[in-house]
Amino acid sequence: MMQAAAPTGVSAARAVWLLTCLRLKRVANQMTVIYNRPLSGRKGRPATSGKKRNRWVVSGVVAFFMLFAYGNIARQSIVNLHRALDHVPYARSIASGPLSDALVRGLAMQLSLLLVAAILGTLASRELSQPDWDLEWLATLPLRTPMLLLCRIMERSIANPLGLLTLLPAGTLIAWISGYRWSAPLLGAIATLPLLVVAAIARTLIDTGLRMSLAASRLRNLQAVLSIVSVVLLYLVISLGMTSPMAFVLGWAREFPNWGSWLPPGLVVRALNAPQLSAQIGIGLLLIVEVGIGLWGSLALIAHQLRNGVVAASSRETARHSVAMSKGHGTQSTRRMGTVVQRRELKLLLRDRTFLVQTLVLPVVIVASQVIFQGRLYGSSFAGASNAAVASIAFGIASYTLMMSAFQTLNSEGGALWLLFTVPRSVESVLKEKAQLWAVLALGYPIAVFAIAAVIKSQADLELIGLAAVVLLGVPIYTLIAVSLGVFGCDPLAQEVNTRLRPTYVYLFMMLAGLYTYAIFASEWWQRVVLIVLSGLLALALWQKARDELPYLLDPAASPPARVSTSDGVIAAMIFFVIQGIAAVFLRDEDHHLSAGALIVAYSIAGGLTFGLFRLSLWRTKTTGVPAVFGARFGRAAAWGAGTGLIAAAAGLVYIFTMRHLGLMQDAMPDSARGLSAGAWIAVLAIVAAPVFEEFIFRGLIFGGLRRSLGAAPAIAASAAVFAIVHPPVSMIPVFGLGVCAAFAYDRTKLLLAPMIAHGLYNAVVLGYQAAL
């Protein structure tokens, strides 16, 4: 019988090409999934507009800033090395041309550190501990093992974003200072390539060896350790680019051995800086030979590791051997603690070493590295640090903990999220319980930091106690923000684990957490109160939006119906203040003074535009729950408005009377307010315009939105607090009372007419009383 001839084997070049294309296609497809933009233009099952989110701009900006940041660090590192090694302490830049031997060695050390950081960073990724090892699949292809490994190294050399991010800016800048100027980016990229090959060789050699020899549990432990070491090393490299780099790192650069500059990173520097073409070619050839020998040797070593076949030591880990341990630790210790969801979460935390280290250890390492390597406390001890510095360290650690834990509450459910859709509990209640757990764990760090500070300083002064309160209030607020942003940032339908979380939201969380440090460094108490209240409102608004999304998580097409939410109120208030500010700029007189008439015009323009824009937007999006001014029970609303308005006004009069008698009124009143105290214009503003516009925003949208998620009492208190903090400090207390009365009237009548009347009446009585004095 005739047999069909077997097909001839694929050539080495073609195999490399195919596997590299496959990897790049995977990266491109991942981007497509993330951004909902098919590169090929073909359409699958189309989603409605509600699920489409355009994140190209945000991610483009983030990528640009990351490249810029790495470039800037590389530039400052080179300048610092130049200052220290060429003994020019005040140099701000480097003249292009041949570099000194000392600087060449210093740059070789910098590139070597970056290379090690890139290798460790890629090894610390979750890929190492994932049960599926793609080499097992690749081994089924009709390729000889050395060829297969060569393909893998080439593919990893090209598709290494972390390596590119760390090495490319430094390579480009070294080419720039070597005199290549605008051809530096191209030469930098060419010079980076051999280093990426070295990184790929090291990564493949190490991860193959580890996979072949270590059980899955040990791999996870090792990965947890690597994630810490890589962060410390990265901060060490970054510290070289700070304005005051650590002396010991510069010392390493001075002592960097000459032979070190004959290794691949040093040869890259030498090749770029060689004065003649022949020397460049010679050094380039040496570099190629070194990388080639390394490649050949490592291929032989990996082939030896795989001599008995590609079977990971970690495959099908039964976990039976650790049953006794788990019964002792995981089960019993968590048996009586918290709810069933919290117990499960703790169990997962105790078993997943990577998660444990990233959640509980890495935040401390990151903040400690920042403090030490960026020199914030350099030269002084913890005891000498200011209370604000202690508070910012405490909040920093808590924020990183929340980023690693609370931010992941939805993402950590992974592919098993469907199980939560089979139990008679809402996903919201599960996330809330997880959030409570993470808030408690995250609070542990600030408490510990403040306790240590109090012990070291041998006293707990009032300022430290106040700052501790600010931080301890901030942690639950930012837990809610983290959980909410985690919901927006997670795509449970993503097929690839590493595309399930959108990094943009991680940066957004860190940015918002950074804003809260203003509450720590603020000079006035009321500024802190304002920031705490605004952060709390933001947390509630985000959580409400996230809650609305939860029932639609696993539906690729449907989105929640539009309803009035707290975030509408927050946005409306922001638009109102921005328009008012812009209008006021245009309405100022030549001396930059704003008359009472101009103020009311600016206020009315802002109020009218905000009111109109929002009404139009709510109508166009068919939003439900839009606040109504009039309705069938018109008379009842007017009566409630008048009653609550009189109560608020009476309280306001008592407050003013008390403040005047204590002599605090004039001191506390800002100059601008005193200047505006007269005139009929202000009466029109206060009695007619303010009630209409402010009640729409603060009662209609903010209170209405809060009421959807909260009971009457907390919603009234929260909306009144927000209303109070947008007023001058002197009037915060009576305005809070007005906010309570107006919200109560609105809650009872469901018509904005009631709080509008209450607001107008309050302003009329208070202004009338002040005018009469």
For another protein, the binding residues (CB under 8 A) are 45-48, 131, 316-320, 323, 326, 340-341, 344, 347-348, 351-352, 413-416, 418-419, 421-426, 551-552, 554-558
Angle between helices 462-489 and 525-549 (to 10 degrees): 20
Task: Give the C-alpha separation, 631 to 752, whole Å.
Answer: 9
Q: Are 627 and 709 in contact (CB under 8 A)?
A: no
Q: Least distance (Å) from another protein to the CB of residue 318?
A: 5
Phi and psi torsions of 563, nearest 5°: -135, 150
Least separation in angstroms between residue 43's CB and another protein is 9
Contacts of residue 244, defined as CB under 8 A and 6 or more positions apart, other chains included, come to 375, 378
Euclidean distance between CA atoms 475 and 399, whole angstroms: 7
The nearest distance, CB 138 to another protein, in angstroms, is 22
Q: At what angle do helices 101-123 and 161-175 cross, to 10 degrees?
A: 170
Quick one: which H or E segment has residue 52? none
Residue with smaller CB distance to another protein, 343 or 528: 343
| Nearest-approach distance from CB 434 to another protein, in angstroms | 13
Distance CA 318, CA 136 (A): 19
CB of 547 to another protein, least distance (A): 14
Q: Of 86 and 549, which CB lies nearer to another protein in the complex structure?
A: 549
CB-CB neighbours of 67 under 10 Å: 14
Q: Which is nearer to another protein, 178 or 314 (CB)?
A: 314
Closest to another protein by CB, 422 vs 523, is: 422
Please state the closest distance from residue 430 (CB atom) to another protein, in A. Answer: 8
Of 340 and 451, which has the nearer Cβ to another protein? 340
Minimum distance, C-beta of residue 437 to another protein, in the bound complex (Å): 15
- Distance in Å, CB of 351 to another protein, minimum: 4
Q: Which is nearer to another protein, 77 or 354 (CB)?
A: 354
311/452 with CB nearer another protein: 311
Our CB check for another protein shows the closer of 110 and 342 to be 342
577 residue type, one letter: F
Give the chain's end-to-end CA distance (angstroms, integer): 117
**Tokens found for residue 226:** 């690597």
User: Shortest distance, CB of residue 132 to another protein, whole angstroms?
Assistant: 11
Complex with another protein: residue 218 or 633, whichever CB lies closer = 218
Do 110 and 240 form a contact (C-beta atoms < 8 A)? yes
Measured distance CA(693)–CA(610) in Å, rounded:
8
Residue 457 or 563 having the CB closest to another protein: 563
Nearer to another protein, 61 or 340 (CB): 340
* Shortest distance in whole angstroms from residue 648 CB to another protein: 39
Closest CA to 754 of 653, 666, 648, 644: 644
- Which phi and psi angles does 633 have, rounded to 5°? -95, 55
Nearer to another protein, 104 or 341 (CB): 341
Q: Which residue shows structure tokens 């002084």?
A: 380
Q: What residues contact residue 595 under an 8 Å CB cut-off, 6+ apart? A: 589
Q: At what angle do helices 566-587 and 596-620 cross, to 10 degrees?
A: 140
Q: Which is nearer to another protein, 132 or 671 (CB)?
A: 132
Closest CB to another protein among 305 and 326?
A: 326
DSSP 352: -
Q: How far is the CB of 353 from another protein (least distance, A)?
A: 10
Minimum Å gap between C-beta 347 and another protein is 7
Beta strands (DSSP E) in 607-709 are none
Q: Strand pairing partners for 751? A: 628
Report how far residue 444's alpha carbon sits from residue 677's, in angstroms, rounded to the nearest whole number: 49
Nearest approach, Cβ of residue 417 and another protein (Å): 9
| Three-state DSSP state, 628 | strand
CA distance 613 to 578: 14
The residue ranges of DSSP E strands in 447-539, in sequence order, are none
The secondary structure of residue 266, as a DSSP letter, is: H
The alpha carbons of the chain give a radius of gyration, in whole angstroms, of 32
Helices 247-255, 56-85: inter-axial angle, 10-degree rounding: 70
Sequence-distant (6+) residues with CB within 8 A of 382 are 390, 452, 453, 456
* Closest separation in Å from C-beta 432 to another protein: 14
Question: If you search the block for the tokens 């107006």, which residue do you land on?
Answer: 742
Provide the minimum distance between the beta carbon of 699 and another protein in the complex, in angstroms, as a whole number.
29
- Compare residues 415 and 675 and give the one whose CB is closer to another protein: 415
Nearer to another protein, 23 or 351 (CB): 351
Residue among 280, 289, 290, 252 nearest 107 (CA)? 252
- In whole angstroms, give the CA distance from residue 631 to residue 627: 11
Sign (positive/negative) of CA torsion 614, 615, 618, 621?
Answer: negative
Quick one: CA dihedral 176, 179, 183, 186, positive or negative? negative
Q: Which is nearer to another protein, 97 or 414 (CB)?
A: 414
Nearest approach in angstroms of CB 45 to another protein is 4
Q: CB 305 → another protein: shortest distance, Å? A: 24
Handedness of CA 122, 29, 354, 73 (dihedral sign): positive
3-state DSSP call for residue 624? strand
Could you give the CA distance from residue 329 to residue 195 in angstroms, rounded to a whole number?
45
CA 175, CA 187: separation in Å to the nearest integer? 7
